[in-house]
Amino acid sequence: MAKITIDGSEHDFPAGMNLFDAVAQARGEALPHFCYHEGLSIAGVCRMCQVEVEGVPKLLIACNSKVQEGMVVHTKTERVQTTVKQILNFHLLHHPVDCPVCDQAGECSLQDFYMKHGLYDAAIDIDEKLAKGKVKPIGAHVMLDAERCVLCTRCTRFTSEVTKTHELGIFNRGNHSEIDVAPGKTLDNAYSLNTVDLCPVGALTSRDFRFKRRVWWLESTDSVCNGCATGCNMQIHHSDGKAYRFKPRVNRDVNDWWMCDHGRLLYHDIQVEERLEGPLVRESESGLALPGNWNTAYAVIESKLSELGEARKIYLVGSPHCTLEELYAFSTLLPAAGAEFLGYRLAGSERGIADDLLLDGDLTPNAKGAARLGLREFDATALAAAAGRNAILIVLNNDLAALSDDCAKALTGFGLVVHIRDRADRTARLAHVTLAGRNFAEKAGTFVNRKGRAQAIERALEGPKNARDELRIIRELGSLLGHSPVWKDAADVRREMATRHDGLAALAGAIPTAGVDLDARQADEVGHG
């Protein structure tokens, strides 16, 4: 460790550590900067993070300096402050004052630093601002405004170093330098929207988010992406009960600073038109699934149960989209009443293409969690074998009919199909009763990602008033079958689950925001035992 002094106070940091990071830790806030980013190479081009280091005649950029024993650093001297203001001035020189129409307003580094450090006399005195490409869609998801660009090179470094797709470049020279895609190219890699996160100003903005909401109205709730088994950490940005975008949350053990475009845009999926406001009940004459109420829906189930009596056979199908808590509750409570759990997933379903960045070939968020609970997959044959007049099928959060025609066919053979889902999907058209559930933005719960990391999601949105949390529905079905659980909510479920499964013991309490590596804990315990 090296002892260094920053603005008069002593600190211990590892020798060789990046001075920018050290100062950020010491002060609790980063030095002004555009080009520095932990996930990218050091560019040193914005010249904003300059500090005075005793013994060095020139100011040094902190991002390209290393902690050395005895270093004395000053970040707030007159000389540093004047320099920062002058450089900010240079950044503003040709910058169009687009703030009233720029999506970045409210989360713009240029705005923020100007407010903190800026010059207030009218020193932006030039005859004409340079015109560059404006309102140029450079890809399916990204809009470019080259006039706003401060040429920090974060986006070009991202496409060179992270995705290695090289779509972006900086062309020309001097103050005619301009970022753009190469002629005839588009920014169309699977991670293009990360450049929007990286861009400190409004040069690269999301086309999907364009003009939809001013960012100061948005609230943020931590969550985890449901698009695949990677489980990228993210935030749900929402306002007035509506989600407007997903943004990644840093987690060095899962997704670093990034998210894929597909995962990001899945926020649309929690607001689909087919969203159920309440249960559906199928009318026997027309065969149509029509909006009903909970009493009617449960009455249909009760009636079937009493009709079948002892002859009844109840089968359960779960889903790798369910939370751990839901899967545990579903696979323990109802089987206690005699139901048979067929499986948590149709084998081979929901596969995609993986890559060596973030995309996983399993397009579901909790297959690993289901496996840890000891649950198995099932196939269409098993489903067909279970079908019969006396058979009741309860499907939790799984659009079986859309996954396979064989499954759809098998469904029609059941005496009663109860579907629990947040939307009117294909299975809902075939089910006798569809109980309106919630999507992942409307509940608390846990997912286990492909690497065995348990991660928590939190409730961001209220959702329709007449939809019900899946755990509540499971409890109510349990009581229809004569079994009531001890647990009341997700935390309770998790506690019980943790005591019943060794491998999930770590989940007894609250789960930290960075998640829990279930295998690491296991190794610890094995060591102690």
Partner 1 sequence: MSDMPRILSGNFDVPNCHRIDVYESRGGYAALRKTLPETLGTKVQEEVKAAGLRGRGGAGFPTGVKWGFVPKDTGKPVYFLVNADESEPGTFKDRFILDYDPHLMIEGTILSCFAVNCHDAFIYIRGEYGWLVDRVQEAVDEAYAKGYLGKNILGSGFDLEMIVHKGAGAYICGEETGLINSLEGKKGQPRIKPPFPALVGFLNCPTIVNNVETVASVPWIMSHGAEAYRAIGTERSPGTKLFSLSGPVKRPGNYEIPLGLPLRELIFGEDFGQGMLDGIELKACIPGGSSVPVLTAAESMEVNLDYEDLAAKGTMLGSGGCIVIGSDAHMPEVLKVLLQFYHHESCGQCTPCREGTGWLDMLIGRMLKGKGHQRDLELLERVCAGMAGTTICVLADAAVMPARSFISKFKHEFEALLPKGIEPEDYVPTAHSAEQSS
Partner 2 sequence: MSEAEGAMKAAAAFAFSAEREARFQKLVERYPTNFSALMPTLWLCQEEWGWLKPGVPEWVAERLDVPVSRVYELITFYTMYYTENPGRFNLQVCRNVSCHLMGAQRIVKHLSGRLGLAPGQTDDEGLFRLEEAECLGACGMAPMMQVGNRYYENLTPEKCDALIETWMAEATSDSLRESRAEEASDV
With binding defined as CB under 8 A, does residue 295 bind partner 2?
Answer: no
Beta bridge partners of 204: 144
CB of 161 to partner 2, least distance (A): 13
Q: Smaller CB distance to partner 1: residue 86 or 466?
A: 86
CB of 210 to partner 1, least distance (A): 27
184 binds, among partner 2, partner 1, none (CB under 5 to 8 A by kind): partner 2
Helix (H) or strand (E) holding 78: helix 78-92
Task: Count CB-CB contacts under 10 A for residue 308.
Answer: 17
C-alpha closest to that of 475 among 463, 493, 499, 500? 493
Phi, then psi, of 240 in degrees rounded to 5 = 50, 45
Among 16, 100, 127, 309, binds partner 1 (CB under 8 A): 127
With binding defined as CB under 8 A, does residue 240 bind partner 1?
Answer: no
Q: Smaller CB distance to partner 2: residue 166 or 213?
A: 166
User: Mind spelling out the 3-state secondary structure of 198-261?
Assistant: HCCCCCEEECCCCCCCCHHHCEEEEEECCCCCCCCEEEEEEECCEEEEEEECCECCCCECCCCH
With binding defined as CB under 8 A, does residue 176 bind partner 1?
Answer: yes
With binding defined as CB under 8 A, does residue 133 bind partner 2?
Answer: no
CB of 92 to partner 1, least distance (A): 9
CB of 91 to partner 1, least distance (A): 6
Q: Is residue 114 helix, strand or coil?
A: helix
Task: Count CB-CB contacts under 10 A for residue 325.
Answer: 27
With binding defined as CB under 8 A, does residue 160 bind partner 1?
Answer: no
How many angstroms separate the Cα of 497 from the Cα of each of 206, 487, 516, 517?
A: 41, 10, 16, 17
Q: Which stretch binds partner 1 (CB under 8 A): 11-19, 165-173, 345-353, 485-493?
A: 165-173
Among 100, 184, 287, 374, binds partner 2 (CB under 8 A): 184
Rounded-to-integer distance, Cα 290 and Cα 368, Å: 36
With binding defined as CB under 8 A, does residue 169 bind partner 2?
Answer: yes
Rounded-to-integer distance, Cα 283 and Cα 437, Å: 20
Among 172, 220, 412, 466, binds partner 2 (CB under 8 A): 172
Q: Smaller CB distance to partner 2: residue 133 or 291?
A: 133
With binding defined as CB under 8 A, does residue 356 bind partner 1?
Answer: no
C-alpha closest to that of 401 among 482, 317, 337? 317
How many angstroms separate the Cα of 380 from the Cα of each of 277, 314, 434?
A: 30, 17, 21
Mask 45-64, x = binds partner 1 (CB under 8 A)? xxx--x-------xx-x--x
Among 25, 39, 44, 384, binds partner 1 (CB under 8 A): 44
With binding defined as CB under 8 A, does residue 182 bind partner 2?
Answer: yes
With binding defined as CB under 8 A, does residue 168 bind partner 2?
Answer: yes
168 binds, among partner 1, partner 2, none (CB under 5 to 8 A by kind): partner 2
How many angstroms separate the Cα of 297 from the Cα of each of 173, 293, 363, 400?
A: 69, 6, 31, 20
Among 167, 379, 422, 425, binds partner 2 (CB under 8 A): 167
Going by C-beta distance under 8 Å and a sequence separation of 6 or more, which residues neighbour residue 420? 394, 395, 396, 397, 434, 435, 437, 470, 473
Q: Which stretch binds partner 2 (CB under 8 A): 180-188, 213-221, 309-317, 508-516?
A: 180-188
Among 181, 201, 454, 467, binds partner 2 (CB under 8 A): 181
Chain centre distance of CA 291? 32
Going by C-beta distance under 8 Å and a sequence separation of 6 or more, which residues neighbour residue 26? 6, 7, 9, 11, 13
Q: Which stretch binds partner 1 (CB under 8 A): 85-93, 283-291, 292-300, 398-406?
A: 85-93
H-only helix segments in 374-441 = 380-386, 400-403, 405-411, 426-430
166 binds, among partner 1, partner 2, none (CB under 5 to 8 A by kind): partner 2
Interface residues with partner 2 (CB under 8 A)?
166-173, 181-186
Interface residues with partner 1 (CB under 8 A)?
42-47, 50, 58-59, 61, 64, 78, 81-83, 85-87, 89-91, 93-94, 116-117, 119-123, 125-127, 130, 150-151, 170, 172-177
